[in-house]
Amino acid sequence: MSGEHGIPLLSSTSLNWVHFENMFTSHLSSIGESRLLDFNHVLPTKEVVIKTLNPNWVDEDVAPTSSVAGSTDPPPPRILVPKYHIASHLETDPIVKTFSPGLDKLRGETLVPYNLLNQQLIIMLARLIDKSLHHLLKCPPGSDPFATARGVYRAVQKHFQPQQWADRDTLRQKWHAITTCVSPESTYNELLKVNDECNSVGVGHSAEEVATKFAHLLQTHHSTAYIGLFTDLAKAGDQSTIQMLWHSAQITSNALSKNAVLHMTPQIRQQAQVPRPAPRQSYPSPQQHPQSHITSPSSCGWCGGPHPYAECYSRDCTNVQKYPNPTWPGGIAPPHVLAKYSQNRPQNMNINRVRHSL
C-alpha cells in the first residue's frame, strides 16, 4: 500500500524496506532536504558577540577631582577604561534556509529553525509506519537536538535490516533454484517475477544476466532447437534483454508443438521409415551443382530444387512441417526458414526456359 508522495506504508513485518528507503530518500532529495538524514552534514556556524560591564569602569559624573579645595592644579590624569568587556565565540546557527518548510513540496525560500525540520521529518515517519512501531520514534535523552531525525530514522532502519538480509538470502536461493524449463512462457514469466522481487531488496540481476539465464534454461526444454538464441545474445552483447529473445523462443516453441502433433499421425510414421532425401535447397545453385537441377529426374518442377515436386516448400508452405530437412536440429525448422516460407511462393519461370535452351 502506498502512502504520501508515493512512499509505501510499513508494518512491523513489511518486506519492502529497500523500496521504502529508496522512495523516502528520493522524496527528500527532490525537495532539497537530504541533509536531514546525512550523518556527515554540519550546520553552519555564526559568530556571537557578548558584552559584559567592566567592573573597573567609572562614570564621568562621579569621577574624582582635585583633593584640595580651591586648588588650581589640574586633576590627575585618568586611565581610560572601557565600559564593556567584549568577547566573541562561534556557535551553531539554528536558523537555516529551506525551500520546503513543511517537507511536502517546493515553495519559496524560507528561514526556519533546523530543529523544526527534524520534528517534521519524525512526524512524517509516524504517518508512514504502523502504530506498533511508534516506540522507535522516541529520541533518547541528551541527543543532539539538530540530529533527532537521523537518530529516529536509524532506529527504524535497524528494525528492518535483519529481515532485509534474510529476504536477500531467500530470494538469491529462489533465483538459483530455477534450473529447468517446463515451457518457455512459464519460465519467461517466472524469471521476470523473481527478478522483480530481487530488485525490491537490492539483489536484482541485470537485463543481460536475465536474458542469458533464459537462453540456458531453454536448452533444458530442447537441447538443440534454441541454440540460435546464443547468436542473438552475442550480437546484442550488454544490450540484450529477455524480451528480445522471447519472439524467437515463441516461434521455436510453436514449431516444436506442431511437429510433435504431425509425428503422431500414421502418415508421418510411415514417412519416418522412408530414407530422408539429401539436404535440399530452396532454389538451384548452378555454381555448386551445374547439372543436377536440370538433368536430375528428382528436380522440382516448381522451384528447380533437388527435391520432389510434392515436397516443394515454395509451392506449399505447409510442407515445411510435413517434410522437415534432416539437417535441422531435432527436425525443427529454424525461425528464419519459418519466416521465409510463411506463405506460398510463386513458381520459378526460369526453369522451363533453361530446359528449352538445352
Could you list the residue range(s) of the whole structural domain that residue 111 is in?
4-44+95-162
Residue 112 lies in a domain: yes
Question: What average pLDDT does this structure show over 131-160?
Answer: 86
* Residues 234, 108 share a domain: no
* Number of domains comprising the chain: 3
* Residues 39, 120 share a domain: yes
| 157-200 per-position pLDDT tens digit | 888 876 666 677 788 889 999 999 988 999 999 999 898 888 76
Residue 75 lies in a domain: no
pLDDT at 122: 93
Residue 70 lies in a domain: no
* Residues 141, 32 share a domain: yes
Arithmetic mean of pLDDT over the chain = 79
The vertex-57 CA angle with 56 and 59, nearest 5°, equals 145
* Confidence category of residue 270, pLDDT binned at 50, 70, 90: very low
| pTM exceeds cut of 0.75 | no
Lowest mean per-residue pLDDT among 67-71, 127-131, 187-191, 235-239: 67-71
Cell numbers for 340: 521465409
Residue 211 lies in a domain: yes
CA gap 202, 188 in Å, rounded: 21
pLDDT at 298 over 80: no
Residue 11 lies in a domain: yes
* Residues 182, 136 share a domain: no
Which segments of 263-291 does DSSP mark as H helices, in order? 266-273
Which segments of the chain does DSSP mark as H helices, in order? 17-30, 114-128, 148-176, 184-200, 207-221, 228-236, 242-262, 266-273, 292-295, 319-322, 335-340, 350-357
Contact 329, 224 (CB under 8 A): yes
DSSP 306: S
* Residues 258, 188 share a domain: yes
Residue 57 lies in a domain: no
CA gap 301, 320 in Å, rounded: 18
Query: How many Cα neighbours within 13 Å face the side chain of 339?
Result: 8
CA gap 15, 162 in Å, rounded: 11
Q: Which amino acid is at 54?
A: N
Residue 84 lies in a domain: no
* Residues 130, 8 share a domain: yes
* Residues 215, 144 share a domain: no
* Residues 26, 144 share a domain: yes
* Confidence category of residue 92, pLDDT binned at 50, 70, 90: confident
Could you give the percent of the chain with pLDDT greater than 70? 78
* Residues 192, 325 share a domain: no
Question: What average pLDDT does this structure show over 29-46?
Answer: 88
CA gap 33, 124 in Å, rounded: 13
pLDDT at 30: 92
* Residues 130, 26 share a domain: yes
Nearest to 12 by CA among 145, 138, 159: 159
| Residues belonging to the chain | 358
